[in-house]
């Protein structure tokens, strides 16, 4: 039986409807359901995106002199598959690149299609290598960090790796701002994977990093480093640290830790030298800490300026006996004499009147036990006693049993120089963007620690130290210097004291109108006293700073009441 034509048409129509319907449904799935993944797949096949590196910002000193800049360099690589004579090529490359021929030959013989021969090579050296036309060698332009002043403030600046990322110091702390934002270049590729010449590349321009303006003064930093190195070598010391800062703004003019390294060879330096000891290493401050004991005593009214103490030759506190640095009979001293002569026993007697709670309170107010807020990588807060007793109170009064950084110590004296107001130290003044506009960093935080009157009394005591006390080596004719010596025993790794000392001197000038605070600490000098090992370095730096910063002298402050004329 034959089906009627109309029926066949209907069947055909239905079949066509189903077929086209299926296609439409599949199309809908592809274009709606899987749209994103398929689009991405298509783009991935068709487009290639490469990063365009942003130029790293410069680090400059306070006068906009560059301390760290980025220059062009070249990575030299090889495709060993194309190297025909590894021995000959290695021998030709070795003298130009300063590498061993054997190492180069080994690289040229390695498996794979890509091996670095040398990274961040100077462009002129790379050009000389290129003229050799050795088969299998390739060249990649790359950025390289360059420190034109060499080993100047290396621990402050830090360094960057071969991938142009900050590894330490300010380079690490401000890596994000310095690095900028990389751009991209998207190229359309043909089926063979080659760029389509007629296609338009989509380029997102990289945004260069900002330039960082530090508070460091390049000239002063150099003079400080030169003087520090001479002092350390002259005293047969292990090392030393210096901080020079403005007590009113908190700007750090110079910060040096010896020994140092050349940041142009950051990766090759001993990691121990990377540490910015002014911020990352805490030490027992010794007698420079007595000024906080005095501040607490005067501010709380526990001790009067004229009050006299009978200071014995030694003092028993619990199971321990406290001595002064020199043997003396029972002496009558005012608080000014105790500070000027740096009497440990006298400081312990003052602390006894102040009390542990107030002493602890004032140490915290001066910034102990917390970082200074510079944000510097690895900055330590130091150590404060977890529990106080009579022994702790006595030892802490003259700076043993606690640990602070040289920066914290400089901050204490800056507070006194600033009329009793603590100012947060800072290493960065601001940034300069791509448009050349300077953007100042936020103003430094401040807090009142002691009243201006107390700060004035403390200044008078510190001036007395330099005029007649242990700090005479820091005196500068024509300028009244206020400061304090310190000599502290060092702990070994087991927590017991050894006959190794840290000599220090912290002070400011001129006493009547302070403009500059300088903290000096010398690690394990032959002559252990701060007045001998550290005070002369303070004086040398201060003399230069007076000229460099144009610091005028000021009317001298009156010395505090004292019971004896010191030698």
Partner 1 sequence: MSVPARTLPDPAPSRPTRTVPAPKKPGPKKPAPKKPAPATTRTAPSVRTTPARPRPVSPPQPRARARRGFHLAYWIFAASVVSLIVVGIVALNAMVVNTTYRMESAQQELDDLSSQQKSLSTEVARLSSPSRIADWAATQKMVMPDDVVILRVAGVGAGA
The residue whose two tokens read 């990649």 is 140
User: By CB under 8 A, what part of segment 392-451 binds partner 1?
Assistant: none
The residues, any chain, with a CB within 8 Å of residue 63's CB and separated by 6 or more, are 217, 218
Phi, psi of 489 (to 5 degrees): -80, 150
User: By CB under 8 A, what part of segment 42-71 binds partner 1?
Assistant: 65-66, 69, 71
Window of 180-188, 326-334, 370-378, 507-515 that interacts with partner 1 by CB under 8 A = 507-515
Window of 128-136, 214-222, 245-253, 339-347 that interacts with partner 1 by CB under 8 A = 214-222
Assess whether the previous peptide bond of 259 is cis (omega < 30° from 0): yes
Is the Cβ–Cβ distance between 363 and 292 less than 8 Å?
A: yes
Cβ-based neighbour number of residue 522 at 10 Å: 30
The residues, any chain, with a CB within 8 Å of residue 539's CB and separated by 6 or more, are 473, 474, 475, 476, 481
Nearer to partner 1, 122 or 352 (CB): 122
Of the listed 257, 287, 343, 515, which one is catalytic? 287
The nearest distance, CB 146 to partner 1, in angstroms, is 7
Nearer to partner 1, 63 or 84 (CB): 63
Nearer to partner 1, 328 or 543 (CB): 543
Does the protein bind partner 1 through residue 146 (CB under 8 A)? yes
Nearer to partner 1, 146 or 388 (CB): 146
At 205 the three-state DSSP class reads coil
To the query of whether residue 287 is one of the catalytic residues in this protein, the response is: yes
In angstroms, the Cα distances linking 487 to 282, 434, 490, 531 are 15, 49, 10, 8
The nearest distance, CB 507 to partner 1, in angstroms, is 12
The vertex-554 CA angle with 410 and 215, nearest 5°, equals: 40
The nearest distance, CB 476 to partner 1, in angstroms, is 7
- Residue from 152, 348, 428, 449 touching partner 1 (CB under 8 A): that is 152
Nearer to partner 1, 78 or 482 (CB): 482
Does the protein bind partner 1 through residue 269 (CB under 8 A)? no
Cβ-based neighbour number of residue 238 at 10 Å: 14
Strand duo 59-60 + 66-78: pairing: antiparallel
Rounded CA-CA distance 375/428 in Å is 10
Does the protein bind partner 1 through residue 549 (CB under 8 A)? no
The residue whose two tokens read 């680090």 is 59
Strand arrangement, sheet containing 516-523: 252-258, 239-245, 516-523, 497-509, 482-491
Task: Identify the CA nearest to 451 among candidates 415, 412, 423.
Answer: 415
The nearest distance, CB 211 to partner 1, in angstroms, is 12
Does the protein bind partner 1 through residue 95 (CB under 8 A)? no
Nearer to partner 1, 489 or 513 (CB): 513
Does the protein bind partner 1 through residue 141 (CB under 8 A)? no
Per-residue burial over 184-214, b = 16 or more CB atoms within 10 Å of its CB, e = otherwise? eebbbeeeeeeeeeeeeeeeeebebbbbbbb
The residue whose two tokens read 């110590």 is 409
Window of 145-153, 194-202, 484-492, 530-538 that interacts with partner 1 by CB under 8 A = 145-153
At 397 the three-state DSSP class reads helix
The nearest distance, CB 177 to partner 1, in angstroms, is 20
Does the protein bind partner 1 through residue 511 (CB under 8 A)? yes
User: By CB under 8 A, what part of segment 223-262 binds partner 1?
Assistant: 223, 226
Does the protein bind partner 1 through residue 204 (CB under 8 A)? no
Window of 22-30, 144-152, 177-185, 336-344 that interacts with partner 1 by CB under 8 A = 144-152
At 561 the three-state DSSP class reads coil
- Residue from 478, 495, 550, 567 touching partner 1 (CB under 8 A): that is 478
- The tokens describing 26, both together, are 């599949």
Nearer to partner 1, 70 or 421 (CB): 70
- The tokens describing 438, both together, are 């300077």
- Residue from 219, 307, 353, 446 touching partner 1 (CB under 8 A): that is 219
Does the protein bind partner 1 through residue 305 (CB under 8 A)? no
- Residue from 159, 469, 510, 531 touching partner 1 (CB under 8 A): that is 510
Task: Identify the CA nearest to 486 among candidates 511, 514, 465.
Answer: 465
Does the protein bind partner 1 through residue 546 (CB under 8 A)? yes
Nearer to partner 1, 252 or 557 (CB): 557
Does the protein bind partner 1 through residue 477 (CB under 8 A)? yes
Window of 41-49, 338-346, 469-477, 525-533 that interacts with partner 1 by CB under 8 A = 469-477
Nearer to partner 1, 304 or 552 (CB): 552
Does the protein bind partner 1 through residue 461 (CB under 8 A)? no
Does the protein bind partner 1 through residue 472 (CB under 8 A)? no
Task: Identify the CA nearest to 156 among candidates 145, 146, 167, 170.
Answer: 170
Rounded CA-CA distance 33/39 in Å is 11
Does the protein bind partner 1 through residue 195 (CB under 8 A)? no
- The tokens describing 527, both together, are 């002559």
Does the protein bind partner 1 through residue 301 (CB under 8 A)? no
The residue whose two tokens read 């107030």 is 358
Contacts with partner 1 by CB under 8 A lie at 65-66, 69, 71, 146, 148-152, 218-219, 222-223, 226, 463, 466-467, 475-481, 510-512, 543, 546-547, 552-556
Task: List residues with catalytic annotation.
Answer: 287
């Amino acid at each position: 039986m034959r089906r009627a034509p109309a029926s066949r048409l209907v069947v055909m129509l239905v079949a066509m409807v189903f077929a086209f319907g299926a296609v439409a449904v599949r199309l809908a799935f592809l274009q709606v359901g899987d749209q994103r993944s398929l689009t991405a797949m298509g783009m991935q096949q068709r487009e290639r995106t490469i990063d365009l590196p942003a130029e790293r910002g410069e680090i400059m000193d306070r006068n906009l002199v560059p301390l760290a800049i980025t220059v062009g360099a070249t990575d030299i690589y090889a495709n060993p598959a194309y190297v025909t004579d590894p021995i000959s090529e290695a021998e030709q490359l070795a003298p130009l690149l300063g590498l061993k021929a054997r190492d180069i030959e080994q690289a040229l013989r390695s498996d794979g299609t890509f091996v670095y021969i040398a990274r961040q090579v100077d462009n002129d050296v790379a050009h000389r290598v290129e003229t050799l036309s050795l088969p299998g060698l390739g060249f990649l332009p790359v950025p390289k960090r360059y420190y034109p002043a060499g080993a100047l403030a290396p621990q402050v600046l830090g360094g960057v790796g071969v991938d142009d990322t900050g590894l330490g110091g300010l380079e690490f702390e401000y890596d994000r701002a310095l690095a900028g934002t990389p751009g991209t270049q998207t190229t359309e590729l043909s089926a063979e994977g080659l760029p389509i010449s007629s296609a338009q590349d989509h380029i997102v321009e990289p945004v260069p990093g900002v330039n960082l303006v530090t508070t460091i003064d390049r000239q002063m930093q150099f003079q400080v480093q030169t003087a520090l190195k001479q002092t350390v070598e002259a005293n047969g010391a292990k090392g030393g640290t210096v901080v020079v800062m403005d007590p009113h703004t908190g700007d750090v003019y110079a910060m040096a830790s010896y020994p140092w390294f050349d940041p142009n060879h950051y990766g090759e330096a001993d990691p121990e030298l990377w540490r910015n000891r002014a911020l990352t290493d805490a030490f027992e401050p010794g007698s420079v800490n007595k000024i906080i004991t005095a501040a607490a005593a005067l501010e709380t009214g526990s001790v009067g300026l004229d009050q006299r103490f009978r200071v014995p030759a030694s003092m028993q506190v619990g199971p321990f006996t406290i001595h002064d640095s020199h043997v003396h009979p029972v002496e009558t001293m005012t608080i000014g004499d105790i500070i000027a002569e740096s009497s440990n026993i006298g400081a312990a007697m003052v602390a006894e009147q102040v009390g542990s709670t107030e002493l602890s309170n004032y140490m915290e107010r001066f910034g102990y036990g917390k970082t200074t807020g510079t944000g510097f990588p690895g900055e330590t807060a130091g150590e404060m006693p977890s529990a106080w007793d009579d022994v702790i109170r006595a030892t802490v009064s003259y700076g043993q049993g606690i640990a602070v950084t040289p920066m914290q110590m400089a901050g204490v004296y800056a507070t006194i120089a600033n009329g009793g107001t603590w100012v947060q130290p800072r290493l960065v003044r601001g940034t300069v963007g791509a448009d050349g506009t300077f953007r100042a960093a936020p103003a430094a935080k401040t807090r009142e620690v002691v009243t201006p009157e107390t700060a004035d009394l403390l200044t008078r005591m510190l001036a007395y130290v330099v005029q007649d006390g242990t700090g005479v080596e820091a005196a500068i004719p024509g300028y009244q210097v206020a400061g304090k010596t310190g000599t502290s025993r060092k702990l070994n790794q087991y927590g017991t004291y050894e006959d190794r000392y840290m000599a220090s001197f912290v002070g400011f000038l001129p006493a009547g109108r302070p403009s500059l605070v300088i903290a000096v600490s010398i690690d394990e000098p032959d002559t252990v006293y701060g007045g001998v090992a550290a005070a002369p370095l303070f004086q040398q730096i201060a003399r230069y700073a007076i000229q460099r910063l144009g610091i005028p002298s000021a009317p001298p402050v009156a010395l505090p009441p004292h019971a004896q004329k010191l030698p």
